[in-house]
Amino acid sequence: MSERRKSVLVVDGDAEVREPLAAALQRDYHVLRAATGEVALQLMEKEDVELMLLDVHLAGISGIDVLKITKENYPYVEVIVISAIEELDAAIEAMRCGAYHYISKDSDIDGVRALVAHASERQDLNRHVLRLRAEVAEQVDREFVVGPSRSTRDVIELVRKVAPLPATVLILGESGTGKELLARMIHRESGASDSPFVAVNLAAIPNDLVESTLFGHEKGAFTGAIRQQLGKF
């Protein structure tokens, strides 16, 4: 039985760009086509799209908006944007919105194939990491549940009661007693389990870097800020 091919959605209003790209990818992927952003989003609802080639300038809804909607609703779809050389600002904006990379309309076909293959490889790697995290999480839960201590079982019971509540939880305890493991367990069983769990060891951060680490900073905000840094929040 042959391996299932990934689906690639090629979105471009210019058939002279769209069709050669689709033809070039047809051998290795299941290729879908759309001339507008509206049609692309409709296809996303019906088809299991995994990769996308997306023109930044489309009639109707813009390519950037299609990208934002895609990343919001289908975060693991890898998107490569298509732009003209003079549209570099639009390509950079697309990268900021979560695009994997961008290509120009005059890119050679072999380069496009290679870029799509790289995006596919990163997607596979991300899925592998998610599976490993799930396995680790399952192991952590097992370690808590099978603990012989009655006090440990009481803690787990309390955690399961607290986790679904819309409350802030403070966990206190000596170093090495499993505070972060309990926090991860609360996160997994809460209504925010689909959102990131961010662990920060404040004891390892110098006092003068705490604010920057938590809230981030812009390039040039202070001496030594040579690039933008996204904060934990």
Range(s) within the chain of domains with CATH label 3.40.50.2300: 7-126
Q: What is the pLDDT of residue 179?
A: 85
Q: What is the pLDDT of residue 79?
A: 95
CB atoms within 10 A of CB 14: 13
CB atoms within 10 A of CB 230: 8
Reported as type and span, the H/E element at residue 58 is none
pLDDT digits (tens, 9 = 90+) for 47-85: 889 999 999 889 899 999 999 999 988 888 999 998 876
CB atoms within 10 A of CB 42: 12
What is the C-alpha to C-alpha distance for residues 105 and 84, in angstroms, rounded to an integer?
Answer: 6
Q: What is the mean pLDDT of residues 6-16?
A: 94
Write down the H helix ranges in the chain: 15-25, 37-46, 63-73, 88-96, 109-145, 150-162, 179-188, 210-215
Residue 30 has pLDDT above 80, yes or no: yes
Q: What is the mean pLDDT of the chain?
A: 84
The reply to whether the predicted model has a pTM over 0.75 is: no
Per the structure block, which two tokens stand in for 132?
Answer: 């490993």
Distances (CA, A) of 58 to 36, 50, 52, 75, 97: 6, 21, 14, 21, 17
| 101 or 230: which leads in pLDDT | 101
Burial environment of residue 63 by CB neighbours within 10 A (0 to 12, 13 to 18, 19 or more) = buried
The C-alpha torsion from 130 through 213 and 69 to 186, rounded to 10°, is 50
Q: Scan for tokens 């001339």, then name that residue.
A: 35
135 band by pLDDT with thresholds 50, 70 and 90: low
Q: What is the pLDDT of residue 146?
A: 46
Q: Considering the domain delimited by 7-126, tell me its CATH architecture.
A: 3-Layer(aba) Sandwich (3.40)
pLDDT digits (tens, 9 = 90+) for 145-156: 545 677 777 888
Q: What is the mean pLDDT of residues 94-120?
A: 89
Q: What is the pLDDT of residue 216?
A: 83
Q: Report the amino acid identity of residue 6.
A: K
